[in-house]
Amino acid sequence: TQDTKYLIRTWFLYGNYDGLNTSPRFDLYLGPNLWTTVDVEISGLGATEEIIHITRSKILEICLVKTGTTTPIISAIELRPLQYST
């Protein structure tokens, strides 16, 4: 919903599903803006990223961008609307 404040939380867990034993590293974008670079560990701990964002349109785009030889992966996305504090 437009003009809503959200907590956006993402989880990345590799688990060597492809047998390559190479943890993915890629960029995470929120709309056209770089949010962070994700480096998923093979150890099984994975990675978690979160941000608070106020939507300015009816569309919210989260993009995983391949920046090297590994394939971007995502395990879960949580969108939690937050109330504005006064």
- Whether 53 has a pLDDT exceeding 90, the answer reads yes
Q: What is the DSSP letter of 3?
A: T
Alpha-carbon distances of 64 from 32, 84, 85, rounded to whole Å: 11, 29, 31
- Give the global pTM: 0.88
Q: What angle do CA 50, 55, 57 make, to 5 degrees?
A: 145
Q: Would you state the pLDDT for residue 42?
A: 67
Alpha-carbon distances of 16 from 5, 21, 26, 47, 71, rounded to whole Å: 35, 5, 16, 14, 12
What is the C-alpha to C-alpha distance for residues 31 and 4, in angstroms, rounded to an integer? 15
Where in the sequence is the domain holding 39, given as residue range(s)?
5-82
Residue 84: pLDDT band (50, 70, 90) is confident
| Overall number of domains in the chain | 1
Q: Would you state the pLDDT for residue 86?
A: 57
